[in-house]
Structure 1
Amino acid sequence: MLGWLSYCCRSRGRTLLLLAVVSVTFFVFQVQQAELFGQAASVNSQRPRKDRLLRSSPDATAPNTVPDANTLSTTLHNTVDTTVHTASDVTLDTTLDTTLDPLVGPACDGELSRFIKQGFHLPVLLLAHRRAERLLETLTSLAAVRGFSADEILISQDGSDEEVAKTVDARNLSRVTHDAKLRGTSDWKSAALRIARHYRWSIDAAFKHFNTTPGIIIVEDDLRFAPDFLEYFQAVAPVLDCDSSLWIVSAWNDNGFDHLVGEAKRLLRTHFLPGLGWLMLRRLWKELQPSWPDVEERRREAQMNNWDHWLRSPQQHQGRSVLYPQVPRVYHHGSLGTFMNLDTHRQYFQHIFYNQDPKITWQRPTADRPWLDAAVADARREPYEARIMQQLRHAETPRSTSALVEALASGKAAALAVWINISPEDVKKKSGAKEGFSSVAKFFGLWHEGQRAAHRGLHELWWGRTHVFLVNVHPKVGYIEGSWRADGRCASTTDAFSLFASCNPASKTPCCSPVGRCEGQPSHCGCSRCLDTRKMVPSYGHLLPAELKPFVAQDFAALAPPRRVTTRLGQGG
């Protein structure tokens, strides 16, 4: 008995000794890990992290709180503002992809957002006529886009061209046929009306074919597509549920030339519909369809036969903006068409740059991660306008044409604000010569129409290393907030230079007459040279620096621009 007790005590002692050694070893290990973790935390606190903004809680007591979207947008502004291109040939800035987690803030809850969060895809409606070879190129390009599915494509054929039908049927794609031919002459007005009629019929057919989709992506048979074309719409479309100041999303930039773009994911705003790959919502179609310019009986009454011109009118957009990418997600490769010829294509389409980088991606909202992509959140009205105003206030302002040319040539300025007071369209003078925005367009290499790609008179572009803000304060562009005068005088279409003053759109005299007086009678609001501010948007004229004289059309008439710097990744064609 005593022997057994002695053995047990010796065994228990060895066990206790072993437990003590293990405990001490584990304690030392914990201390070492704590020291290492503290060192790592110290290093990481000084090192910017891609996920730091989202995953580091602004409130230690609420570790799962999503940061405020406006706060993150401000950080995004600061990041983008300080980006300066340093290469002789510009490389696209992908700051939006690399400095922030792509998830910024929760998307608004709406029919479109819920559709995409549930994993559904927006279908594509492709309109074709009789260009089988172009259609084949377009379908081949579309099939190479990430996320492409043949079940989500509908081809609407105008007419009965056999080669077009064979091209579509050979790929087992859904096809519907419609003959929009009109009786009578074959002038351009009839052609425009035929296209408008086919658009109306096709959109109706698409919403019936895809009977659960809240929207359709509309393209034509002469486009090439970026690798992220479909992802772009899936990511950007939900913002239409969040921002009532937007009504359409487009994949095209009229001024997306290879020497004027620099930010791969920057989204811009305009009231001038770009078209060429755009999103039509079902709810918007219910609004537009009854008055769409397509019915033959309306031809005598219709002021606009072109469907896109009609959509660009203030009566349709009602002050709402189109969201589009600085770098287009489509390229127009058709050089012949109803309203296209070789000269027009060479001047306005051949040198458009469209994204071809497969590494650029977009984050669409999902059920588990219901947030907007950073670039999309930054395009909402409040952060967008805050960014513009901040950058205009900090940009350098050339006060002479020689200073402007020198600033563009040197590339030393991070940002330039170029203020102009020029009619957005050319005006015929008494001498017979035309004067207007075309002089500025020739200098920078823009479309000659000043409304294209402009937001409140602002064109945002890149010139090599320099971010350029071309700001137009002409009274035709928009009214200047807070500029109304007690004597009722205003800057008119016939005298836009003697003073910077507008009529108050909320007053009883909202219309500036040709003689420069604010009036309220119908005759002063509806004439061709009158300005009805109720139908206009505010310009950025209230930010015009004191005592600065904006450039006028004559300043650019004989001005030669410095050498253009094209985007390094090449041309769209």
Structure 2
Amino acid sequence: MTVFTLILALMIVGLAEGGRHLDVEVMSSRRNLRVTLNSVQVLDARIGTLLNDGTQAMGLHLLTLNQHSGAVIMKKTFNTTEFAAGLALYPVLTSIAAGRIAIFAVLAEASLNLARVTRQLLAGFGVHSASVLRVRNYLACVLTVGGVTHGDAAVLDADTISLNTFASPVIFHAVIPLSDPDSCSWMKDNNKRKKFCSQYDGYGDFCDCENPLPLDFPKQKLANSVIENIPVLIIAGNRPTELYRSIRSLLEQPGGAPEKILVTVEGDYPEVFQLLNLLQIRYQSFRPALDYSTLLDLNDTRVFYAARISRHYHDALQLAFRLHPNAPAVILLEEDLIASPDFLSFFNQTAFLLASDPSLYCISAWNDLGALHTSRDTGLLMRVETMVGNGWMLTRRIFQEVEGTWPMNVGEGDWDMWLRIDENAAQRECVIPAVSRVFHYGLTGAHVRGPMTIAHFAGHLTTSQPNIWLKDTHKLVQTEYEKSIYELLESPNIVFHNTSLSPCNKNYLPKNFTETLVIFFEMTQGLDKAGWALLAACLGLWHLDTRGHHRGLFRFNYYNTTVLAIGYPFSDYSYLKPPKICMPKKIETTTELQLLDTLVVENRRRHRVADLEEFLPSLMLDVRIPSFAYS
């Protein structure tokens, strides 16, 4: 075996006599990863060890240290042996405050799903060896964020795959200087911020030494506000950095104020509570009501966490309405959702619809079909039959209606799926925007992993302007909306799409058609996804179920082409179907459905939108496109 060992940098930093320093030792290998600071072991990760979320401890490990004391203030593991796990690197790296000390090392393997764009991100951050890391190779790097790389070492072996071996360990030693204890402005003038920023990392310029964000965000008045007494409820767990971004996105926009926000937290997490106290946000902690031991019988973590989340939502809504007795409604967010700059303005302009139209039961800031290439008009609103979460408004009346039967025990299902059943929907609809008003920032969750993030969340379009006037909000009431839909479908600008090409063929739809295209596909009833799954997956839309339609009509853009997809014969608008028109085939086998699941993770690459992708540098656009049977 030929082993090529590359030592990019291994140095002992010269220090002035009497200077404060930190002695760092790192060992990166197949079975063990150890980090020692001034002879104290602060990390001992071994292959087979499980993290708190149940995943393996292998992959790329990151520790950040307080640059004044050398204390560990953040630990992260990115299991880049799993598809799309590298997506989590971008938000973490960009959230580390300048001046922190960062240590990177590999346990077992880290390169399998380390995409080119992620390698470039790491190299730009100072981990130069990441750009040349091979399979089963190891690295160790110590750097000052925004400053110098103190040492970067890697063992690169090109033959590990062919010989089924692992590279030799990297053993790294460096002595680096610590900063003056009084070098940060927040260490001098605010004891609360000093304590918080000394203990924790991941808050970016909130803990910046030179120009930290103010603790009190300037209040901006929301013009013509009708939602002053409607609170924003944030459902949270132990993800404080994500929670901070969500809260900050609210406080930085018109109508955002600390007293308007209520956070409910399931569990006891000191970092979360210290953050909320620092931001002067009201919160309530709930003790987890369900015992993990119930899994001994169910052996299903997804079912268990579904019940816990459902109960948390129920208890949080009860609390919000009790603390705000005059509130007619509540706006809900989760901690990994970032609100657009016009999030509160969006609800301010649409709140009257819930109060005046009994055929509606929610307003949502999220469009399930709103990918980069399928949503354009920021002022357009639509009605859909599916209850849509991810930033939504629920009235007190509707909550009281469903409160008594809300699923709260293991095995009763997910709260959002339960709200969508016919008994609760009662033929009511939700109003959604064509372009979403929230961005799903989290890579993983109770039901979301990396592949789903790539397929349906990472490339989701969100507005960026604070003042967007919504079009014809009065036409969202039921009678007016139906009238506008019929007018649209029966207008002379409609063209019925008739082709035998597969929806996966790149020529299936034009990107810049000036008239509205109508597509018919097979759909026998509201939950029949066999026809929609193929069409949606091929076009880069949500395909896992038939959410996002109004009476069987799906409305979206394909780049600059307006498309109306009608499920035949289920849709009320099926009468418009011309005779002998071609319809896409239905999915008929499990194998075909699995092929679609393979396809959708490539949709961000297959449906490129170059002018928007510059705002989403975390997208993994360099993975290979699999061959696909329907193309």
* CA distance in 1: counterparts of 2:538 and 2:372, whole angstroms: 15
Q: CA deviation at 1:307?
A: 0.1
Matches within 5 A, 1:56-455: 120-183=228-291, 184-186=293-295, 187-294=301-408, 296=409, 299=410, 302=412, 305-361=413-469, 374-394=471-491, 395-402=494-501, 406=507, 408-409=509-510, 411-422=512-523, 436-455=531-550
**Is the partner of 1:197 in helix, strand or coil?**
helix
**Is the partner of 2:472 in helix, strand or coil?**
helix
Q: CA deviation at 1:568?
A: 4.5
1:42-101 per-position Cα deviation (integer Å, ceiling 9, x unaligned): xxxxxxxxxxxxxxxxxxxxxxxxxxxxxxxxxxxxxxxxxxxxxxxxxxxxxxxxxxxx
Q: CA deviation at 1:352?
A: 0.2
* CA distance in 1: counterparts of 2:508 and 2:487, whole angstroms: 20
Please identify which structure carries the higher helix content: 1
- Equivalent AA in structure 1 for residue 560 of structure 2: R
Q: CA deviation at 1:390?
A: 2.4
Q: CA deviation at 1:408?
A: 2.6
- Equivalent AA in structure 2 for residue 127 of structure 1: I
* CA distance in 2: counterparts of 1:319 and 1:426, whole angstroms: 14
**Is the partner of 1:356 in helix, strand or coil?**
coil
**Is the partner of 2:460 in helix, strand or coil?**
coil
The 8 Å contact of residues 229 and 326 in structure 2, kept in 1 or not, is answered as no
- Structure 1 residue aligned with 2:555: 460
Q: CA deviation at 1:359?
A: 4.2
**Is the partner of 2:246 in helix, strand or coil?**
helix
The 8 Å contact of residues 522 and 531 in structure 2, kept in 1 or not, is answered as no
Q: CA deviation at 1:251?
A: 0.5
Percent of paired sites with the same residue: 26
* CA distance in 2: counterparts of 1:393 and 1:571, whole angstroms: 39
Assess, with a 3 A threshold, how the Cα gap between structure 1 residues 567 and 456 changes in structure 2: closer, same or farther: farther
- Structure 2 residue aligned with 1:504: none
* CA distance in 2: counterparts of 1:250 and 1:422, whole angstroms: 25
The 8 Å contact of residues 353 and 571 in structure 1, kept in 2 or not, is answered as no
In the alignment of these two chains, the number of paired residues is: 373
The 8 Å contact of residues 196 and 306 in structure 1, kept in 2 or not, is answered as yes
Assess, with a 3 A threshold, how the Cα gap between structure 1 residues 271 and 280 changes in structure 2: closer, same or farther: same
1:316-336 per-position Cα deviation (integer Å, ceiling 9, x unaligned): 001100111110000000012
1:354-394 per-position Cα deviation (integer Å, ceiling 9, x unaligned): 001234245xxxxxxxxxxx431122222322222222234
**Is the partner of 1:409 in helix, strand or coil?**
coil
The 8 Å contact of residues 362 and 394 in structure 2, kept in 1 or not, is answered as yes
* CA distance in 2: counterparts of 1:119 and 1:201, whole angstroms: 22
**Is the partner of 1:324 in helix, strand or coil?**
strand
* CA distance in 2: counterparts of 1:166 and 1:278, whole angstroms: 27
* CA distance in 2: counterparts of 1:229 and 1:352, whole angstroms: 16
Q: CA deviation at 1:308?
A: 0.2
The 8 Å contact of residues 252 and 324 in structure 1, kept in 2 or not, is answered as yes
* CA distance in 2: counterparts of 1:253 and 1:385, whole angstroms: 20
Unmatched runs of 5 consecutive residues or more in structure 2: 1-223, 296-300, 617-631
1:445-492 per-position Cα deviation (integer Å, ceiling 9, x unaligned): 111134221111211111223110111115xxx4xxxxxxxxxxxxxx
- Equivalent AA in structure 1 for residue 484 of structure 2: R
The 8 Å contact of residues 464 and 565 in structure 1, kept in 2 or not, is answered as no
**Is the partner of 1:170 in helix, strand or coil?**
helix
Please identify which structure carries the higher strand content: 2
Q: CA deviation at 1:544?
A: 2.2
Q: CA deviation at 1:152?
A: 0.8
- Equivalent AA in structure 1 for residue 452 of structure 2: T
* CA distance in 2: counterparts of 1:410 and 1:139, whole angstroms: 37
- Equivalent AA in structure 1 for residue 355 of structure 2: D
* CA distance in 2: counterparts of 1:455 and 1:229, whole angstroms: 23
- Equivalent AA in structure 2 for residue 138 of structure 1: S
- Equivalent AA in structure 1 for residue 512 of structure 2: G
Assess, with a 3 A threshold, how the Cα gap between structure 1 residues 117 and 251 changes in structure 2: closer, same or farther: closer
* CA distance in 1: counterparts of 2:573 and 2:615, whole angstroms: 32
**Is the partner of 1:185 in helix, strand or coil?**
helix
The 8 Å contact of residues 426 and 438 in structure 1, kept in 2 or not, is answered as no
Assess, with a 3 A threshold, how the Cα gap between structure 1 residues 322 and 257 changes in structure 2: closer, same or farther: same
- Structure 1 residue aligned with 2:7: none
Assess, with a 3 A threshold, how the Cα gap between structure 1 residues 189 and 383 changes in structure 2: closer, same or farther: same
- Structure 2 residue aligned with 1:543: 576
**Is the partner of 2:294 in helix, strand or coil?**
coil
Q: CA deviation at 1:565?
A: 6.0
TM-score of the superposed pair, with normalisation by structure 1: 0.60
**Is the partner of 2:564 in helix, strand or coil?**
strand
Q: CA deviation at 1:262?
A: 1.5
Assess, with a 3 A threshold, how the Cα gap between structure 1 residues 347 and 128 changes in structure 2: closer, same or farther: same
Assess, with a 3 A threshold, how the Cα gap between structure 1 residues 424 and 326 changes in structure 2: closer, same or farther: farther
- Structure 1 residue aligned with 2:609: 566
Assess, with a 3 A threshold, how the Cα gap between structure 1 residues 422 and 439 changes in structure 2: closer, same or farther: same
* CA distance in 2: counterparts of 1:270 and 1:437, whole angstroms: 16
Structure showing greater Rg: 1
Q: CA deviation at 1:412?
A: 3.4
The 8 Å contact of residues 219 and 277 in structure 1, kept in 2 or not, is answered as yes
- Equivalent AA in structure 2 for residue 126 of structure 1: I
Assess, with a 3 A threshold, how the Cα gap between structure 1 residues 447 and 423 changes in structure 2: closer, same or farther: farther
1:135-186 per-position Cα deviation (integer Å, ceiling 9, x unaligned): 1221222211221011111111111111111111111110111113312334
* CA distance in 1: counterparts of 2:549 and 2:379, whole angstroms: 18
* CA distance in 1: counterparts of 2:547 and 2:609, whole angstroms: 21
- Equivalent AA in structure 1 for residue 573 of structure 2: Y
- Equivalent AA in structure 1 for residue 543 of structure 2: H
- Equivalent AA in structure 2 for residue 207 of structure 1: F
The 8 Å contact of residues 269 and 322 in structure 1, kept in 2 or not, is answered as yes
- Structure 1 residue aligned with 2:130: none
Q: CA deviation at 1:403?
A: 10
**Is the partner of 1:205 in helix, strand or coil?**
helix
Unmatched runs of 5 consecutive residues or more in structure 1: 1-115, 363-373, 428-433, 479-537
- Structure 2 residue aligned with 1:42: none
* CA distance in 2: counterparts of 1:198 and 1:406, whole angstroms: 47
- Structure 2 residue aligned with 1:370: none
**Is the partner of 2:550 in helix, strand or coil?**
coil
Assess, with a 3 A threshold, how the Cα gap between structure 1 residues 221 and 572 changes in structure 2: closer, same or farther: farther
